Structure 1
Amino acid sequence: MKKITFLFFLLLLSPFSRAQSPVEKSLLWEISGKGITKPSYLFGTIHLICPADFSLSDSLKNAVSKTRQLALEIDMDDPGLMGAMTKTMFMADGKTLQGILTEKQYAQLSQFYKDSLGMNITSFGRAKPFMMMGPMFNKILGCEPQSYEISLMTLAAKQKSEIIGLETIEEQMAVFDTIPYNRQAEMLLSMIDKLPETKTEFHDLVELYKKQDLQSLYNLTLKSEFGMDGQDEVMLFQRNQNWIKRIDKIVHEKPTFIAVGAAHLGGEKGVIALLKKDGFKVRAVGK
């Protein structure tokens, strides 16, 4: 359950020339130049998706086979991951869910989780409200979701590639902590109140993903009523910038397959634009 919650939030997360923004419709990109001897690859994921919409292309598998390590947003193969997440999942100062909600809001939330998810919200206790969004994902998708990250980890394991992270779980959880607890709770209640709209928006996002339309996917993520919530600077842009130096380092060490949420790739402050600005050659790889 904690992994599903974590993957859900991965989905949510000086000016640059527009010429740097990717215009090709592709999820897979080759990184070369800047003195690296063998190319690395960058892939935009959608962290959870219905099996009917899931696909690992031959181009993707071929790119993975040419690399020697897999870099995800965090190292999901780290045995200490769940322990670290548990330490960071609780609200500070002894705050509780019941304490930050009105009596009416708490009753509404409790009824929804009981009737729709078969869960008692008292089990969440002091957990930060966004931790409660994970269990809703099956309801939003209408299926038992599949993960690109886990599938890529399986491919990497078969060829004995090392799995690493571009950031730590503590760094990632700190990003979500920039949203006040009461605002997190409001976002959760809004998703419940507008569940049909939530489902429609995610369906639209999946369709854009299947079309490999990074720019439109990026635009939808920014204007989402349920995602960035005005936090795009810390949830997307600052993280993108932080990753560039780390990517620079790892691709010079060994050919690497880098997989991050597709929303991080598009736009003038996206990973592709920043890599180009940093001196790398980044080109779309055909399906």
Structure 2
Amino acid sequence: MKNLFCTLLLIATLIFTVNIKAQQKQSAKSLLWEVSGNGLTKPSYIYGTIHMICEPDFLISDKTKSAMTSADNLVLELNFTDPSEITELQKSIMSAIPLSKKLSPSQFNRLDSVLTLKTGTSLKKLDQLTLAAITSFAIAKTLPCSEIKSYEVEFINFAKAQNKTIGALETVKQQTEFFAKAFSDDELVRQITSFDDYKTVFSEMISTYKMEDLDKVSEMLKDKRWGNTEESNKWMLQVRNANWANHMPAMMKNQSCFFAVGCGHLPGKDGILQLLKNQGYKVKPILK
């Protein structure tokens, strides 16, 4: 059970990081971008993922495989291969106070009704989990399939097969702290009870993602049904993107890195593509 919800918590990263405003257009449709110049000995790559997708919709293009092969390292948001990080992740999904005591009776009953109706699982069975973990569980249930694929898992398998080093842009503890600052319990309750809205917009998002259209992704992510707030945008995107853009130069200085992060982190004036351009790097889409 814990391992299941660890996976679902990671999946929720995309949902919690889509509070982005399309303030700056990208010039081409691509999920894969090359970073070069500014003293780099070899180019590095940035790939925008969607953290969960039905197997029939899943695709790793030849251009992406080529970039991964040429890179020395794989860098994800979190290092899912580090045992200490997995242990920390397991701890992070467990609530210090049971939800039956943390939430008001009306909140608990409302959530229980929604989860039972939409997922077939009572909140009573999830009482020891955090609201973030339960949100992840609910979101995963919006997909119209039983076989769910993860780009991060596939990239890890690819990297291991080629004996590449696997690293991360942040720790589980840092990410958990950002979640806590970004979303109140009331906001998470509203997100969970908006099950049908999520089902609709997430289906639309997957279709747009498959088109590799970051401009349209940015436009879609302004949809109020995602539960966007200025505070969540600050902590889940602006602060994290700035942190990552500050860490990335040292990571790719002497070795080529393949960075794989949620696609919502790439576009816009606060996106990592523009932040790296601001530092003097040449950032261009890989189209073929």
TM-score, normalised to structure 1, is 0.89
* SS of the residue 1:80 aligns to: helix
Structure 2 match to 1:151: 154
CA-CA distance at 1:233 after TM superposition: 1.2
Alignment partner of 1:173 is 2:196 = no
Q: Give the aligned residue type for 2:10.
A: F
Question: Which of residues 15, 21, 27 is equivalent to 1:23?
Answer: 27
CA-CA distance at 1:101 after TM superposition: 3.1
Cα deviation code 1:122-162 (max 9, x no counterpart): 34334321210222234211113211111111111111001
CA-CA distance at 1:186 after TM superposition: 2.5
- d(CA) in 2 for partners of 1:138, 1:185: 16
Q: Is the 8 A contact 2:75 2:167 kept in 1?
A: yes
Structure 2 match to 1:54: 58
Single out whichever of 197-206 and 114-123 deviates more from structure 2.
Answer: 114-123
Structure 2 match to 1:87: 91
Unaligned runs of at least 5 residues, structure 1: none
Cα deviation code 1:3-22 (max 9, x no counterpart): 12222223421xxxx7x752
- d(CA) in 1 for partners of 2:58, 2:75: 20
- d(CA) in 2 for partners of 1:226, 1:72: 24
Alignment partner of 1:162 is 2:162 = no
Q: Give the aligned residue type for 2:250.
A: K
CA-CA distance at 1:119 after TM superposition: 2.8
* SS of the residue 2:163 aligns to: coil
Structure 2 match to 1:256: 257
Q: Give the aligned residue type for 2:73.
A: Q
- d(CA) in 2 for partners of 1:224, 1:34: 39
Unaligned runs of at least 5 residues, structure 2: 18-22
CA-CA distance at 1:115 after TM superposition: 4.5
Identity of aligned residues (%): 30
Q: Give the aligned residue type for 2:148.
A: P
Measured on the aligned residues, the alpha-carbon RMSD in Å equals 1.9
- d(CA) in 2 for partners of 1:130, 1:170: 14
Structure 1 match to 2:11: 7
Structure 2 match to 1:141: 143
Structure 2 match to 1:208: 208
Cα deviation code 1:158-184 (max 9, x no counterpart): 110011000001111111101222322
Single out whichever of 179-188 and 109-118 deviates more from structure 2.
Answer: 109-118
* Cα gap change, 1:82 to 1:135, in 2 (>3 Å): same
* SS of the residue 2:236 aligns to: helix
Structure 1 match to 2:191: 187
Q: Which runs of 4+ in 1 moved over 4 A?
A: none
- d(CA) in 2 for partners of 1:236, 1:145: 25
Q: Is the 8 A contact 1:205 1:217 kept in 2?
A: yes
Q: Give the aligned residue type for 1:107.
A: N
Structure 2 match to 1:236: 237
* Cα gap change, 1:47 to 1:58, in 2 (>3 Å): same
Alignment partner of 1:277 is 2:278 = yes
* SS of the residue 2:253 aligns to: helix
Single out whichever of 252-261 and 78-87 deviates more from structure 2.
Answer: 78-87
Question: Which of residues 103, 106, 116 is equivalent to 2:105?
Answer: 103
Structure 2 match to 1:198: 198
Single out whichever of 164-173 and 217-226 deviates more from structure 2.
Answer: 217-226
Single out whichever of 219-228 and 272-281 deviates more from structure 2.
Answer: 219-228
- d(CA) in 1 for partners of 2:26, 2:124: 46
Structure 1 match to 2:129: 127
TM-score, normalised to structure 2, is 0.89
Q: Give the aligned residue type for 1:274.
A: L
- d(CA) in 1 for partners of 2:241, 2:59: 25
Aligned residues: 276
CA-CA distance at 1:219 after TM superposition: 2.7
* SS of the residue 2:170 aligns to: coil
* SS of the residue 1:75 aligns to: coil
